[in-house]
Structure 1
Amino acid sequence: MSAHRRPFPTRWLAAGGAAVLAGIIGVALLLQSGGSACAAPPSTSTKTGKATFYDLGGTSGNCSFEVPADDLYVALGPDQYADGASCGAYLDVTGPKGSVRVKVFDSCPECDTGHLDLSRTAFKKIGSEVAGIISIKYKLVTNPSVPGPVTVRIKEGASQYWFAARIDNHANLLKSVQVAGPGGSFKSAYRTDYNYWLIDSGAGSGPYKLKLTDVYGNTTTVSGIAMKPGVVQKTSTSVSGRSSTVKSAAKTSSSPAAKKSSPATPASVPPSASSVAPLPESAAAVPGTTEDALLNLAGNPEPASCG
């Protein structure tokens, strides 16, 4: 079992196992033009597949989010989970009884592409619980409504020498996160498969500015993020629909501990050169993972315009 894989929950899988209906077309989503990355917006085409459901069993999903208040979430197979790049996106899923909007919250190691493992609550909105497995249609949602503005959670064990933060309520898939400490320049963070953004050499003691960019090019910068491990810090800004001006973190709230399966990290690490070189601002944080998520969640991209 992977170190970052969720504990295997109680699942409701029908006997047999229908063939996966979803197909993936392999195309590149980033075109290189003059040395800078040009992201093509993903299409919102409808895809077909199947759905099952599972019970979380009191643990956090692999995306390290708190359970949504409406209990509507989905776990994706390895191709579509894309090492965490799909975390926080929203899918509209239609089944025999109707439609439901779910947040990408977890990974399902045994699920093939097109197999969506829904929360029991979500499954019951679109199908009969006794069926166990149903045929569905689903699509990626662009600029969905979210419960509130962007939140930032600093991971337990983080310090001025090792930065790790989880971003929530970003609506669309995130392409990159950059962090600047007091008086410092922005450093590019890289995303882990448990959905924290890391800078191995740290970003100072804070407070921090975080520059967030989604796959559509929407960018916002939040400031006033403190080094408060384990605390969800609420901001007053969003990152969907349009670029935003700098906003400050407004409130903090207690948060459950991060997944126990996340790697242990020391409270302080001697300062040293980062083991991950900072990326240029135009580059994706982890080459391939965000593009893979777009491929598998959204299908063919629309033609890119890089003029």
Structure 2
Amino acid sequence: MTTPSHRRRSRPRRPTALVSAVAVTAVALVVSLAVAFRPGGGTADVREAAKPVAGTRVSGSPTSGAPSASASPKPSASATNSASPTARASASRSAAAAASARAKATTAAPPKTSATGSLAGRIRPGTTYTGVATSYDIGNGDGACSYGPTSDVMTAAMNTADYETSKACGAFVAVHAGGKSITVRITNECPAPCQAGQLDLSQQAFAKLAPLSAGRIQITWNLLSPDTSDKISIRYKTGSSQYWCGVQAIGHRNPLARLEVRAGGSWVRLARTEYNYFLSESGTGCGGAIRLTDIYGEQLTVEGIAVKPDAVQSTGVQFARR
């Protein structure tokens, strides 16, 4: 649009035209006042006069209706172009803040754990098993789980089927017979002729249920998640180094489902042996961070455990009671 000074330079004033324009304006004003103050006139006529002409684009937000949940509302091109730079910058900051809040809400959600032990093998929580109990002399308390000598006599050997390549190691089970109950920890394996469901109890544990002379008794048993103040410990196997290592977890409240080591920014799951060590044949992750997962899906990450063969190193952490 040209400026008034430019019009003055290009076209001289015409007093007669100006007078005519003033006259027309005055007439229009008189007509408007007459319409406004006539009986029945007023606001309805004003609203009617305010209606946009067909084909005219009207900017503004609707007063009803919600935006689609699948997409963020986008301003029209005309609204964006006509807004001032300050308004556009403010809108951009608001959109960025909203997107950031949505991202934080998504990533801040804690991981869920299974209450039913979805990572369990043959021995599952909430299940009652039926079998027989026998007894054996545990000697110094060591067994197939490779925990080493112990003064704890309330232990048992699990039949090979339910031992499941050492997955039963460290599990606490409640054993019931003849109205009596005891709690034992699995530290050993009972090979054939032990059958599925059978427990070979320490003589001390068996004697709490029946006389040793009974030989075999009918039992039921189930998995426990006991109350304990013990913390989990880590031990590297004899011969372990940065080039090869075997890693073992000791004292876990719940059965252990996985043991992983961190290498190259990712977690590597180690294979479990029947003697209850997790092996890294190539040395991957030996001496690095360790992640433990129980059968309920709870994960504990442990750092600062050096490769010290046969040394029992406490982690200071424990799985939650279930």
Q: TM-score, normalised by structure 2?
A: 0.58
- The verdict on how the C-alpha distance between 1:119 and 1:203 changes in structure 2, with shifts beyond 3 A counting, is same
Point out the structure with the larger strand share.
1
Shift of 1:148: 0.8
Provide the residue aligned with 1:197 in structure 2: 278
Matching of residue 95 in structure 1 with residue 177 in structure 2: yes
Alpha-carbon separation, structure 2, partners of 1:217 and 1:202: 26
Q: More helix per residue: 1 or 2? A: 2
| 1:70 aligned residue (129, 147, 152) | 152
Q: Aligned match of 1:134 in 217, 223, 230?
A: 217
Tell me if 1:114 matches 2:197.
yes
- 1:147–1:169 contact (8 Å) kept in structure 2: no
* CA separation of 1:92 and 1:170: change in aligned 2, threshold 3 A: same
* Aligned mates of 1:100, 1:59 — CA distance in 2: 18
Counterpart-to-counterpart distance in 2, 1:185 and 1:218: 18
SS at match of 2:181: strand
Between structure 1 and structure 2, the one with the greater Rg is 2
> Is structure 2 residue 214 aligned with structure 1 residue 153?
no
User: For residues 192 and 103 of structure 1, do their structure 2 counterparts lie closer, same or farther at Cα, with a shift above 3 Å needed?
Assistant: same
- Alignment correspondent of 1:186: 267
Cross-structure match for 1:174: 256
Instruction: Provide the secondary structure at the position in 2 that maps to 1:122.
Output: helix
TM-aligned CA deviation for residue 174 of structure 1: 1.4
What is aligned with 2:300? 220
Distance in 1 (CA, whole Å) between partners of 2:131 and 2:236 is 36
Question: 2:140 touches 2:149 (CA, 8 Å); kept in 1?
Answer: no
Change in Cα spacing, 1:125 to 1:68, as seen in structure 2 (3 Å) is: farther
Residue 234 of structure 1 aligns with which residue? 314
Equivalent residue runs for 1:1-16 within 5 Å: none
Q: Contact (CA 8 Å) 1:146, 1:169: kept in 2 or not?
A: no
Please list, as runs of the form range in 1=range in 2, the aligned pairs for 1:259-298 lying within 5 A after superposition: none
Runs of 5+ unmatched residues, structure 1:
1-37, 243-307
Superposed CA RMSD: 2.2
Deviation of residue 97 (structure 1)?
A: 6.1
Alpha-carbon distance in structure 2 between the residues aligned to 1:164 and 1:43: 28
Which residue is equivalent to 1:39? 118
The residue identity in structure 2 corresponding to 1:39 is S
Unaligned runs of 5+ in 2: 1-116
**Offset at residue 40 of structure 1 (A):** 6.6
What displacement does 1:128 show? 1.2
Residue correspondences, number: 202
Instruction: Output the CA distance in 1 between the equivalents of 2:139 and 2:281.
Output: 32
SS in 2 for 1:80: helix
Deviation at 1:74, TM superposition (A): 0.9
CA contact (8 A) 2:166 2:276 kept: yes
List per-residue Cα deviations over 1:237-295 (Å, max 9, x = no partner): 012349xxxxxxxxxxxxxxxxxxxxxxxxxxxxxxxxxxxxxxxxxxxxxxxxxxxxx
Detail structure 1 runs of 4+ shifted over 4 Å in the superposition. none
Higher relative contact order by CA 8 Å / sep ≥ 6: 1 or 2? 1
CA-to-aligned-CA distance 1:87-108 (integer Å, 9 cap, x gap): 1111100123621111111001
Question: Does structure 2 retain, via aligned residues, the 8 Å contact 1:154–1:231?
Answer: yes
Q: Deviations over 1:17-72 (max 9, x none)?
A: xxxxxxxxxxxxxxxxxxxxx93773413222111110123362000113454311
